[in-house]
Structure 1
Amino acid sequence: MTVKIDGIEGTQPEQLMKLLLSLASDWGDVFDTSKLKAVHLSGAMTNIVYRITWPKNASEDDVRTVLVRIYGEGADIFFDREEEIRTFGLISTHGHGPHLLAKFPEGRVEEFIHAKTLSACDLRDPEISTLIAAKMREFHDLNMPGSKTAVLWPTMRKWLIKARSLCSQEHAKEFKLDIIENEIDTLENELSKRKQNVVFCHNDLQYGNIMIDDKTRTITFIDYEYASYNPAAYDFANHFCEWAADYHTDTPQNLDYNKYPDLEERQRFVKSYLSSTGNQPSDADVDQLIDDVERYALANHLFWGLWAIISGYVTHIEFDYIEYAKQRFSQYWLKKPQLLKE
């Protein structure tokens, strides 16, 4: 038996309604199922996310709000959902992000954070960028259980195998999938020549995964599906690449690398990160990290390019994943000769 919640596409398990009823009861709410409202929150490309509200009492003068995340099709290719939920809970106990309220087979219910999700242009705001850098340092300092080795390289190799198994011959040829394994090997060898600071990274710091409380100017990172141990420089690279994106346009798959942070903006971010613990970095430390970040941007293009190819074949979220993949791979081939100095 299934139940439809007004505002959510399709039908969801009756278990979801039971979970909401149980939560409302625990909170002492007077729960009227006819008063539930759901609003789709755009910008997510792995899951479908809704804000759900209901009146706490009959007078309807106070409203309860939660976030419901419906897992996207094919997402289990990219990460272990149970592991992701464990990570979610552990990060919450460290004081980061929302609390997990309940889970059901097709998704979960999370605490709704009453803060503003950033927009694409917010990333360019010097004050906000500085706050993001400091929060990134906090996140990187988390001591999470499990292996402390970088997962970037084995993940890309696994995704390459999956992309090859799904791809049409046309796409396999277009994306040069026959030589991408060699590109991954080359990158790993080149980027591993320098000692890397491997930390717990978010790995998906696009603007939609960053929230700010306008009153307290507190930054919160959300959505940890891809969080894992990686070189810190890779997390910087991922964030800087996201400056080129705006997922709230008529063409969300299009990237504008003219918006990639310039040297001054990268220096400000890196200095803010390194100095957030009270120690002032040397110019040499800043320059070294910036150089590492630029080289890890190459790995980031391959990572999300492979992700997009797979998503284009398994996901039904309205987004042109294949066009997105084309742009990430194009940027890789454009920048590789300069950054690896072949």
Structure 2
Amino acid sequence: MSFDIEKPLSKVEYLYDNASMRRARPTRPSSDYDRAYLDNNPLKASRDPCRSTPLQRNGNASSSDLKELFSRFDIESKVIPWDIIARTRELCAKYLSGSWNKVTPQRFRLKAITGGMSNLLFLVEMPDDIEPVSTEPRSALLRIHCNVDLEHLLNESVVFTLLSERALGPKLLGVFPGGRFEQYIPSRPLLCHELSLPSISRRIGCLLARVHALDVPIMKEPMIVEVAEGWLAKLRKVESKVAHKMRLNTVQVDLSKCPGEITCELLSDELDLLRECLENSNSPLVFCHNDLQEGNILLHNKYKIDSEGNLDVKEGEEPLVLIDFEYANYNYRGFDFSNHICERILDYSDNKPPYYSIKQHQFPDENDQSVLFNAYLDELEQMTNNGSEDRRPPYFVCELPKRREEAVEQLLTETRRFIAVSHLFWSVWSFMQAEESPIEFDYVSYGLDRLALYYEHKSDLLEYLQ
């Protein structure tokens, strides 16, 4: 699951400081663009109305400045304060440049997408009657980092930049202290049932191969158990003891395989067992997306899925783009496969409680999964053959059998054994979200359903200990 919108921030009324605007002495413009820049960025010729500290001509405000300013935004009010509009306009002029210098704050288009304690996301757009003069985009997404762990932010920024350069994600348009500009892609997220369409499954297989082949300059150790243990540590700090009676909500499994009550101690024991299984899995460590569900795969608006489930795509075109690499890191390859396969039965489009459904009848059989894996192997083969003589193929390619049938069978087995891993991982996440998130979603029911499926598939995972 990808959404992480936490409780809205309090709205603070802002009074525009016209007096300080009149007293300021502007910098002499050296060109038409500089003149337009100063004319349309009044805050540049003044003192920062939020911090009362001078802003330099280079436009470099600190991340704490932006954090304080944007903390005044309340997404529920749907009203964006004027100082946020002016500062955003200023950032566009400086980092997107070109015709953005010509847009006055009064004509500046700014739309809030999401808001919370971690990130704020806005869509910025030029007026229709202003044309770009160079390569500057007509629209972009502005992401403001709020309360984010610095280590996580560093890793996420490195990942986003690399994916942008490799055309595996939205383009990076600008970086500044406290946030960045990202490419806005006119698109829609895939629907749950579309993940299993052969035309879509093949595309996803190709994209996964490209992601797994990346050499990303971050820590190359699996952290899946440590991450889950971190969530569990938060649960242990909850004043009221976290314990849930096992019940089934949208799944059908053999309850005799499940414990009667779910506690932190029980989850901790399961994570210890999981660690032992993973260490014996021999699943190669690769760079993984780790959350490849339908909402994180966009279909460009220019492409349509017809009634037969086909895509009309020309050679060399890529209709899909992966987004939201929040959980991306080095992980066992089997997790990325199994997690995506699990997502093919998890539908988050329900608008009534519990706001999700688990459609077990849609679980892909081996023939359906083989479509994904054959496309994955085709892409790896093409990447290896098209490389230069001194370019070595990704190391994990070498451990796959040479015969295609055997390679597909190995991936099928690896995925089957990791199905339980995905269910346990996201069940712990869901129990933690139930204590912290204000989102209208039945996290407890979701966590119990995922945990029930973990026990249903646990015997496959235990094969690693035999």
TM-score interval, smaller chain: 0.7 to 0.9
CA contact (8 A) 1:160 1:306 kept: yes
Q: Give, in whole Å, the separation in 1 of the partners of 2:144 and 2:106.
A: 21
Write the letter of the residue equivalent to 1:65.
S
State the AA in 2 paired with 1:188: R
Greater CA radius of gyration, 1 or 2? 2
Which residue does 1:275 correspond to in 2? 378
- Residue aligning to 1:313: 435
Aligned partners of 1:296 and 1:71: how far apart in 2?
Answer: 33
Extract unaligned runs of 5+ from structure 1.
Answer: none
Greater mean alpha carbon deviation, residues 314-323 or residues 4-13: 4-13
Distance in 2 separating the partners of 1:318 and 1:294: 32
Counterpart in the other structure of 1:201? 288
Task: Find 1:38's aligned residue among 104, 111, 119.
Answer: 111
Q: Tell me if 1:227 matches 2:299.
A: no
Task: State yes or no: 1:295 paired with 2:367.
Answer: no
1:129: which partner in 2?
Answer: 201
In 2, Cα distance between equivalents of 1:291 and 1:133: 17
Q: Which amino acid aligns with 1:233?
A: G
Whole-angstrom CA distance in 2 between matches of 1:28 and 1:112: 17
- Spell out, residue by residue over 1:72-129, the C-alpha distance to the aligned partner (whole angstroms, 9 max, x if none): 88x759x823321232122222332113334565x65321123442222221210111
Say if 1:58 and 1:7 are closer, same or farther in 2 by CA, change over 3 A: farther
1:3-27 deviation digits (Å, cap 9, x = unpaired): 7699974657945742343324613
Rounded Cα–Cα distance in structure 1 between residues aligned with 2:76 and 2:242: 39
SS in 1 for 2:327: coil
SS at match of 1:55: coil
Residue 87 of structure 2 is matched in structure 1 by 18
In 2: Cα distance, 1:12 partner to 1:293 partner: 49
Give the match for residue 232 of structure 2.
Answer: 160
Structure 2 residue 189 is the aligned partner of structure 1 residue 67: no
- Name the Cα RMSD after superposition: 3.5
Q: Secondary structure at 2:233's aligned position in 1?
A: helix
CA distance in 2, matches of 1:47, 1:324: 24
Deviations along 1:37-92, whole A, 9 cap, x unmatched? 526479x9x86655443415469xxx93222446688x759x82332123212222
> Using the alignment, how far apart are the partners of 2:320 and 2:106 within structure 1?
35
- Please, which moves more after superposition, 154-163 or 22-31? 22-31
Given the alignment, which residue of 322, 339, 362 partners 1:238? 339
The CA distance in 1 between the partners of 2:77 and 2:364, in whole Å, is 37
Q: How many residue pairs were aligned?
A: 336
Contact kept, 8 Å, 1:120 with 1:246, in 2: the verdict is yes
Alpha carbons of structure 1 residues 271 and 200: separation in structure 2 relative to 1, 3 Å: same
Question: Residue 361 of structure 2: which of 234, 254, 258 is its match?
Answer: 258
**Matched residue of 1:142: which SS?**
coil
Query: Gaps (5+ residues) in structure 2?
Result: 1-49, 51-68, 132-136, 246-260, 304-312, 383-401
* Structure 1 pair 321–285 and aligned structure 2 pair: CA distance change class (3 A): same
* 3-state SS, counterpart of residue 163 of structure 2: helix
Match of 2:162 in 1: 90
Residues in 2 aligned to 1:320 and 1:301: alpha-carbon distance in whole angstroms: 16
Higher deviation after alignment, 325-334 or 311-320:
311-320
Determine if contact 1:253/1:323 at 8 Å carries over to the other structure. no
Shift of 1:262: 1.9
Task: Classify 1:8/1:89 alpha carbon distance in 2 versus 1 (closer, same or farther; 3 Å).
Answer: farther
Q: TM-score, normalised by structure 1?
A: 0.83
- Is the CA contact (8 Å cut-off) linking 1:31 and 1:56 kept in structure 2? no
Q: How many angstroms does 1:312 deviate by?
A: 2.1
> 1:234 offset after TM fit, Å?
0.6
2-side partners of 1:12 and 1:206: how far apart?
A: 34
Q: Which among 272, 289, 292 is matched to residue 185 of structure 1?
A: 272
Summarize the Cα distance change of 1:144–1:19 in structure 2 as closer, same or farther, 3 Å threshold: same
Cross-structure match for 2:262: 175
Shift in alpha-carbon separation, 1:233–1:94, aligned structure 2, 3 A: same
AA in 1 matched with 2:90: L
Secondary structure at 1:166's aligned position in 2?
coil
Alpha-carbon distance in 2 for matches of 1:235, 1:67: 27
Contact 1:253 1:321 in 2 (8 A): no
CA drift at 1:158: 2.0
Map Cα deviations across residues 189-219 of structure 1 (whole Å, 9 max, x no partner).
2233232211000111111111233253432
Q: TM-score, structure 2 length as denominator? A: 0.63
The separation in 1 between residues aligned to 2:236 and 2:98, in whole angstroms, is: 49
Deviation of the 1:340 alpha carbon: 2.8
1:178 Cα offset (Å): 0.9
- Provide the C-alpha distance between the structure 2 equivalents of 1:28 and 1:207, rounded to a whole number of angstroms: 35
Asked if 2 retains the 8 angstrom alpha-carbon contact of 1:53 and 1:66, the reply is yes
Name the SS for the 2:358 alignment partner: coil
